[in-house]
Amino acid sequence: MGIWFPQDYLRRADGFEMLRVFTPRIWHPNVSADLPLICIGHLTPGTSLVDILYQVYDILTYQKYNPREDDCLNRGACSWAREREHQFPIDGRPLKRRSLQLEVKPL
């Protein structure tokens, strides 16, 4: 997983540009199987790095997923996930204590 911050990332956040997956063949409705794309949902300017990582962890462990056929990145995984909703999340543990709050201040 790679996160690229543009110079003005406190002002704009474009998931098209900022988020990349490097590990191929992740089986998830919101991660593309062969393209380096992942959709983590709402990404706002100044979202802190830890929050992005939490979001990615929640997605990879199926704590969060959006199995909508019309706006997913992997249709096969999408119908697969619909049939197995009772098995999710595959890992329910939190990544870390949630109290960590990093304040982002502009320079």
Partner 1 sequence: MNNRHVVVAGCGNTGSHLLPHLARMASISRITLVDPDCYEPANLAVQNIDRTDVGRPKVEAQAEKLRRIRPSLGAWGLDVIALQDRIENLPRGLLMSDLIVSCLDSRSSRQRVNEIAWRLNTPLADCGVLGSQKLARVDVYVPSPEGNCVECNWSHEDYSQIEQQYLCGAGSGAAFPTMASSALGALAASLMSIEIAKILDGKRGEPVAARQVIVGAEHHFAQLSTSKRNPNCRFDHRSWFVEPWDCQPETMTVGEAIDALGSLQIEGHLWVAEMVCAGCGRRGEKQLRLNRPLARCPACNRRMASSGFGSLERLDRRFAGEFASLTLAQAGLRAGDIVSGGFITACCNWRRHERESLQRNGSNLSAFHGIPVRRGHGACGCERHPAPACASHGSAALCCGVPVQGACQECAG
User: Which residues of this chain interact with partner 1, rule CB under 8 A?
Assistant: 2, 4, 6-8, 10-13, 15-17, 19-20, 30, 32, 34-39, 41-46, 66, 70-73, 105-106
For residue 18, the minimal CB distance to partner 1 (Å) is 10
CA-based nearest residue to 11, from 39, 44, 52, 41: 44
Closest CB to partner 1 among residues 70, 92: 70
Closest CB to partner 1 among residues 6, 94: 6
For residue 26, the minimal CB distance to partner 1 (Å) is 14
For residue 104, the minimal CB distance to partner 1 (Å) is 8
Q: What is the DSSP string of 19-65?
A: EE--SS---BTTB-SSSS-B--S---TT--HHHHHHHHHHHHTTSS-
For residue 81, the minimal CB distance to partner 1 (Å) is 14
Burial class (CB in 10 A: 0-12, 13-18, 19+), 65: buried
